[in-house]
Chain A
Amino acid sequence: MIDAATLAQMNGEYVMPPDAGPAWRAAREAGIDMSLIEEALKLTPEQRLAEHQQVIDFLLEVQEAGQRNGTE
């Protein structure tokens, strides 16, 4: 049996950590996906930069694909 909190999380609801401070809550209320920050903080700085590089590479590929399609 899946409890309501787990179901909500499965549906994308962020569960505020019990120790979340005012800045964390303010960022969440501003619409920031704090789960992404939680995940990023589990990485080393080198892993963060490597992940960022992968994202850049992908986004630039997408941009180039869009530009190619736009000229066809």
Chain B
Amino acid sequence: MAQNDQALLMRLRDAGLEFVVIGGVCVVYHGALLATFDLDICCPFGEENVRRIEAAVNELHPVHRLTANKLPLELTRSAFGDLKNLYLQTDLGKLDCLSEVAGVGDFSTVREQSVVASFSYGQFRFLNLDSLIASKKAVGRDRDLDAVRRLLAIKEKKEQQTGLL
């Protein structure tokens, strides 16, 4: 199954969704090239925003990937107002949308703790290095703690380069 994060990011932006990239892709953004097979974002929820997510992926056969029978997203519209997270499988890969980030907070806090990154295909927000480290520590799985070691080293090197250490 393909995983095309760039295409997913562009679709989410084009659908008018406000979001911050978190998780493994954010780890890569900050300089630790660990393979990750999904795109994690934090975004505001509520029916309107879930409809934006649906609009972004509706041509990609989205299903709730953690439901036993892989419920199609379009068949769950009645629950859109009650959703706090979305774990989707689409034709462009896995897309996890979270309303809050462990160790950081809800979307408004996550947005405050984000940086804007410019790419040839647009500008996107990524969780900043300190908050990414906090989130990985909060989740605390082995692979998260491995990422923390790498990110702490990167943070130290950046601080050395900017004269903060």
Contacts and interface: CB of A to CB of B under 8 A. Distances in A.
A49 B6 contact: yes
B25 A52 contact: yes
B153 A60 contact: no
Contacts, number: 80
A70 interface: no
A51 B33 contact: yes
Main secondary structure of the interface of A (DSSP, over half): helix
Interface string A1-24: 000000000000000000101111
Q: Which of A23, A41, A57 has the most CB of B within 10 A?
A: A23
B6 to A, nearest CB: 7
Given A30-B149, A48-B31, A55-B35, A21 B4 contact: no
Contacts of A19: 160
A19 B158 CA distance: 12
Interface in B94-116: none
Contacts of A52: 5, 25, 28, 33, 35-36
Interface of B: 1-6, 25, 28-29, 31-33, 35-37, 117, 119-120, 126, 146, 149-150, 152-157, 160, 165
Nearest 7 Cβ contacts at the A-B interface: A23-B156, A23-B152, A27-B153, A27-B149, A21-B156, A24-B153, A52-B28
Interface of A: 19, 21-24, 26-27, 30, 32, 34, 36-37, 40-41, 45-46, 48-49, 51-53, 55-57, 59-60
